[in-house]
């Protein structure tokens, strides 16, 4: 087996190359960090529309108040003030399937629906309706739709779709998720908004992102969000009071075993 | 005890506020992500020089080839392809004292030296020389100086100091660390470069960053670096080959106990 | 919504209760830690056969040489010697779907096959054969079978099945996975061993563990494994040499973008 | 540079060696897991007194109710139900300097005091009193003393010291920390208990543990604690209710910047 390659970066005595670019001459102080993140993940600098949308997506995914991940980061900062990186890592860890997974699941779904349309030549609305009837009417959730707080519209979706449209970057994925949302409403009577995960998935897919890269991209946003919460927590703690009330908020009671001995 | 506050963000049905700003109206697609990161950690948008330097610092700290953290992230991606956030988190975890700690330790040192000068009215070169004689000549390391690869100069330092100077943002910290470097050379004969941690600490201190925020800021850069490595690893794996050779690279031998039974 | 309860533990001035037991009077120095782990996860102390098998499972899953998780833990210890918990955490993070997920996927599969047999009254061999023909003959992997090193037999499986049989604890799951292995061989000609994940899943299911608890249980074993590697790494480092050779093992080359700009 | 070695484990087709022992023949189903953990970290099996104390220490450190780490683990499980290992890892991450660091700091302190006594031949009470006057009377905390809940006595300390004494394993460290506690009371009037970190540090030091291994050992206990909380959370969630109240418990207010622009 020949040596595997990496194309991220390499350093010599007087030069650091990052994704094929001279870090100090061509990136630092020249390319804004949001575009450097795009470069780091994608392997090339973004075009202007890609930059606007890419930066907007990261901005939309970064912060949403005291989420599970933000709180986990703060609690870890309380226990490990000497290891700030542990607290930021804890904040990233909380961004799993419930939050980030919808991003990729939605992207995969949009791709599947679009591919089905291309492959079978059946009209896309028909492909979508078949899927909705099979999945949603059976009680399945739709990744990319619905939000416990933004019940009618997710403001991040409005903004991202507005940007994509202005920049001429709205494509098949944006079209498909909109159709999906409308079809769910027609078939079930439930009017669910396209949430931020769905909107980010759609606009990034329309830029050409492969589905498996979306969670990498989003994790950077979550890290930034967590870093802010950690910075605030070590400056102005919130968790000591929360922890002092925890036995009242979640009282202890003796356990029932999760299963009994067999026989 | 009154309720502790948080000033990161809050969401209502049709509005998301992040650090006092309307996310969708004023940030997404308006403010580049690098400046949004500054806002998230500091609590206000950066001025133009702060933006240039802040983005440059994040860019400099993001990627340095196959580091311990990058490799840890890749290995975790190999074992947890379904949990990309775990792999990015692992990459952030590797950025501890050996890499990020120097950032804060250096900032604390620069602050201590400067404070000693202000408090005692002794000239700064004298304060620095006393510290160097006490610490370095006793074999202690100097946080912010030295690098195993960039033995004479760290190109990131050259670039960051150039930017700070051009923007009129070079201040006491940059001056102090340069003096520190020169004094170490005079006292020990060793010519060590100011490394990226030292340069980032100095330029961020001169912007006004409190030392304890530097690691939060840097952790975002490390997360971006890790996310890139993870994205590449799930696309084009490197770790299977490495793991297939690990018994040859690090062979097993039976252990000697780390301590013997007492008595 | 009434207050949710927790049944893990609570502390007062002179007493600590863990899972309904007085920690200092009834557990510490009385119940071996392996059984305390069972208590912590299950909510009751194990019977004698449960203790033997439970401890054996943890022992089998703890250590398997320089795995991806072990190496990630060591690399993190190198970068964060002040944060040992970060290194142990990194070792746990590497134990994802490729290693731990098979445990749960296998348990779910065994349960599905058994349930199908009970529900339809079709003979179990028939249920299994149908599944194998549909899944494996289409190229799908079977969670719980196969191992890159233990190609014919996994010694951990032999030992665990021997223990379960001796203790009269072998049940439906052990029977089903054996049938599964034999059926795969009959249908495909491939003789795959039942691996440690499959064996642990089977014996724990036969003790009555619900599938979703298996990964919690196994994570403790992985943490112990990682802790050992971290202890050794901080005593006798291996990663500096590995990292000094990394550019030779995984050389850098300029990137090809992961996707091109659309249009 | 010759190849570094590892003494943790290695696997061949039909045999797995862990710390010099045949895993399947000599460990699994033979040696209880608590003793296997000792073997994994120390490199040899424990003697009987070492086993009793080692298992008791792990048991004492495992669970203490809804701590910051337990809550962080639960919150992560809520966001990443598919990645249980991420939740357990988050629980380990929260066990930093505030909880685990005291263990090592205390061990280092006890060693320093004892070494000072041996080196200078000054009586140990004198060494201790000098340190207390210099450190504690200046407002410094003493690692190993004090607890917010167990204000007079920590029941875990009583139990561990009782075990060590019964087994003839009480030694210099136990003696020194007791002297330290008494001296703090004499010098400051404050009666602080020896807490669990101090007690675990003392009894493990008296077994011969080097200070830097204590946190590795304790991290296993924290992982077990976290695994239990995660198992319960995925079975009977507590965090949704907590998160539904978070804006009331920790309300949002617009930020004050953490620092102002310079000049």
pLDDT value, residue C3: 78
The radius of gyration of chain C from alpha carbons, rounded to an integer in Å, stands at 22
Beta pairing class for A9-12 and B15-18:
unpaired
Q: Output phi, psi for D168, to 5 deg.
A: 65, 25
Q: How far apart are CA B196 and CA B113, in angstroms?
A: 20
pLDDT at B110 over 70: yes
CB atoms within 10 A of CB B141: 12
Give residue for tokens 């950066």: B46
At C82 the pLDDT is: 75
**CA distance linking residue C122 with residue D242, whole number of Å:** 46
Q: C153-163, pLDDT tens digit by residue? A: 999 999 999 99
CA-CA distance, D119 to D115, in Å (whole number)? 6
Q: Which two tokens stand for residue C207?
A: 């003790």
Residue C11 pairs with which residues in a beta bridge? C16
Contacts A219 to D, Cβ<8 Å: none
Residue D65 CA from chain centroid, whole number: 15
A 10 A CB-CB count for D140 gives 11
Residues in chain A with CB shorter than 8 Å from the CB of D61 are: none
- Interface mutation target, options D85, D93, D151, chain C, most CBs of C under 10 Å: D85
* Mean pLDDT, chain C, integer: 93
Q: Is the pTM of this model over 0.80?
A: yes
What chains are in contact with B, requiring at least 3 Cβ pairs below 8 Å? Answer: A, C, D
DSSP B49-112: HHHHHHHHHHHHHH--SS-HHHHHHHHHHHH-TT-HHHHHHHHHHT-SIIIIIHHHHHHHHHHH
**Rounded mean pLDDT, B158-166:** 98
Residue numbers in A near C42 (CB within 8 A): 257-259
pLDDT, mean over chain B: 93
Q: How far apart are the first and last CA of chain C?
A: 53
| Interatomic CA distance for residues A50 and A48, integer angstroms | 5
Domain regions of chain B by residue span: 14-45, 101-212
Confidence of residue C78 (pLDDT cuts 50, 70, 90): confident
Number of Cβ within a 10 Å radius of residue D84: 32
C227 vs C216: CA distance, rounded Å: 17
Number of other CB atoms surrounding residue A65 within 10 Å: 22
Helix (H) or strand (E) holding A9: strand A9-12
Q: Give me the tens of pLDDT residue by residue for chain D, a chain 263 residues long.
A: 567 999 999 999 999 999 999 999 999 999 999 999 999 999 999 999 999 999 999 999 999 999 999 999 999 998 777 778 899 999 999 876 666 668 999 999 999 999 999 999 999 999 999 999 999 877 788 999 999 899 999 999 999 999 999 999 999 999 999 999 999 999 999 999 999 999 999 999 999 999 989 999 999 999 999 999 999 999 999 999 999 999 999 999 999 999 999 86
Smallest Cβ–Cβ distance between C32 and the set D32, D153, D234 belongs to D32
Nearest CA in chain B to C82: B97
User: Sign of torsion, CA A131 A132 A137 A139?
Assistant: positive
Structure tokens at B136: 């370095």
Q: Given pLDDT bands bounded at 50, 70 and 90, which one contains residue C88?
A: very high
Angle at D222 between CA D220 and CA D224, to 5 degrees: 70
Q: Please indicate whether, in this complex, the C-beta atoms of D65 and A101 are within 8 angstroms of each other.
A: no
Res A141: pLDDT: 83
* Cβ contact D93–A86 (<8 Å): yes
Residue C96 has pLDDT above 80, yes or no: no
User: Across the interface, do B75 and C68 touch by the CB < 8 Å criterion?
Assistant: yes
Nearest to D255 among B19, B50, B210 (CB): B19
User: What is the structure's pLDDT at B141?
Assistant: 83
Report yes or no: C13 and D149 within 8 Å, Cβ to Cβ.
yes
Nearest to B43 among D17, D43, D255 (CB): D255
pLDDT category at C123 given cuts 50, 70, 90 is very high
Residues of A in contact with D241 (CB under 8 A): 249-250
Residues in C touching D35 (Cβ below 8 Å): 32
Question: Which of B83, B95, B239 lies closest to C79 in CB terms?
Answer: B95
Among B209, B250, B258, beta carbon nearest to D5 = B250
Q: Which of A90, A101, A141, A239 to mutate to test the interface with D (most CBs of D within 10 A)?
A: A90
C-chain CB neighbours of B104 within 8 Å are: none
How far apart are the C-alpha atoms of D49 and D168, rounded to whole Å? 8
CA distance D128 to D134: 10
Least-confidence region, from B78-82, B167-171, B173-177, C11-15 = B78-82
Q: Quote the pLDDT of residue A83.
A: 79
Q: Are the CB atoms for A99 and D86 separated by under 8 Å?
A: no
pLDDT confidence band for C137 (50 / 70 / 90): confident
Please give the structure tokens belonging to residue D5: 């070695």
Query: What is the Cα C58 distance to its own chain's centre?
Result: 8
Sign of CA dihedral B147, B148, B152, B155: negative
3 state SS for C70-136: HHHHHHHHHHCCCCHHHHHHHHHHCCCHHHHHHHHHHHHHHHHHHHHHHHHCCCHHHHHHHHHHHHC
B42 vs B21: CA distance, rounded Å: 13
Per-residue pLDDT for C120 more than 80?
yes
pLDDT in tens, A196-224: 999 999 999 999 999 989 999 999 999 99
Q: What is the spatial distance between Cα A79 and Cα D178, in angstroms, rounded to a whole number?
A: 26
Q: Which of D229, D92, B239 minimizes the C-alpha distance to C4?
A: D229
Q: Measured between alpha carbons, how far is B32 from A48 in angstroms, rounded to an integer?
A: 12
- DSSP assignment letter at A97: I
d(CA C38, CA A146): 39
- The nearest CA of chain D is from the CA of A171 a distance in Å of 30
pLDDT at B79: 75
User: Sign of the C-alpha dihedral, residues B218, B219, B224, B227?
Assistant: positive
How many whole angstroms separate alpha carbon C111 and alpha carbon B147?
Answer: 56
pLDDT at D96: 65
Smallest CA–CA distance, residue A89 to chain D, in Å, is 8
Q: How far is the C-alpha of D33 from the C-alpha of C31, rounded, in Å? A: 12
Among A132, A146, A163, A167, smallest CA distance to A98 is for A146
Residue with tokens 């006292």: B187
Give the Cα separation of D221 and A159 in Å (integer): 47
Are C259 and A42 within 8 A, CB to CB? yes
Who wins on pLDDT, C153 or C83? C153
Answer yes or no: do D97 and A83 touch at CB < 8 A. yes
CATH of span D101-212:
1.10.230.10
Distance of CA D227 to the CA centre of its chain: 16
By DSSP bridging, strand A21-22 and strand A15-18 are antiparallel
ipTM for the complex shown = 0.95
Is residue C1's pLDDT more than 60? no
Collapsing DSSP to helix, strand or coil, D1 comes out as: coil
Query: Which residue has 């990319």 as its token pair?
Result: A144
Could you give the CA distance from residue C129 to residue C135 in angstroms, rounded to a whole number?
Answer: 10
Residue B82: predicted pLDDT:
75
User: Which residues of chain D does C92 touch, with a Cβ-Cβ cutoff of 8 Å?
Assistant: 85, 88-89, 92, 223
Model pLDDT, residue D211: 92
Task: Write the pLDDT tens digit of every residue in B85-105.
Answer: 899 999 999 876 666 668 999
User: Do the chains contact at C43 and A3, CB–CB below 8 Å?
Assistant: no
Tens of pLDDT, residue by residue over B221-249, are 999 999 999 999 999 999 999 999 999 99
State whether the Cα torsion D246-D247-D248-D251 is positive or negative. positive
D3 neighbors B249 (Cβ within 8 angstroms): yes
Return the axis-axis angle of helices D214-235 and D84-93, rounded to nearest 10°.
130
Q: A66, D238: Cβ pair inside 8 Å?
A: no
- Cβ–Cβ gap A66/D90 under 8 Å: no
**What contacts C237, CB < 8 A, 6 or more positions away?**
C78, D4
Are A74 and A233 within 8 A, CB to CB?
A: yes
């Amino acid at each position: 087996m020949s040596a595997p390659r990496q194309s991220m970066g390499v350093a010599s005595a007087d030069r650091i190359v990052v994704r094929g670019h001279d870090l100090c001459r061509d990136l630092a102080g020249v390319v804004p960090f949001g575009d450097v993140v795009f470069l780091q993940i994608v392997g090339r600098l973004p075009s202007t529309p890609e930059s606007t949308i890419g930066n907007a997506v990261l901005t939309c995914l970064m912060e949403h108040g005291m989420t599970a991940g933000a709180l986990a980061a703060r609690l870890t900062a309380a226990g490990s003030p000497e290891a700030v990186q542990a607290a930021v890592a804890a904040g990233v860890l909380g961004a799993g399937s419930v939050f980030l997974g919808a991003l990729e699941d939605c992207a995969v779904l949009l791709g599947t629906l679009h591919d089905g349309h291309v492959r079978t030549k059946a009209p896309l609305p028909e492909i979508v309706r078949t899927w909705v009837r099979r999945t949603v009417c059976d009680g399945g959730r739709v990744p990319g739709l619905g939000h416990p707080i933004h019940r009618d519209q997710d403001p991040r979706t409005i903004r991202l779709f507005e940007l994509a449209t202005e920049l001429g970057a709205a494509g098949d994925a944006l079209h498909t998720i909109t159709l999906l949302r409308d079809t769910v409403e027609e078939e079930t009577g439930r009017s669910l908004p396209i949430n931020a995960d769905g909107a980010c998935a759609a606009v990034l897919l329309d830029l050409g992102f492969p589905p498996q890269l979306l969670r990498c991209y989003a994790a950077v946003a979550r890290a930034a969000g967590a870093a802010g919460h950690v910075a605030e927590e070590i400056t102005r703690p919130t968790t000591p009071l929360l922890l002092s009330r925890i036995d009242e908020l979640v009282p202890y009671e003796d356990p029932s075993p999760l299963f009994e001995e067999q026989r």
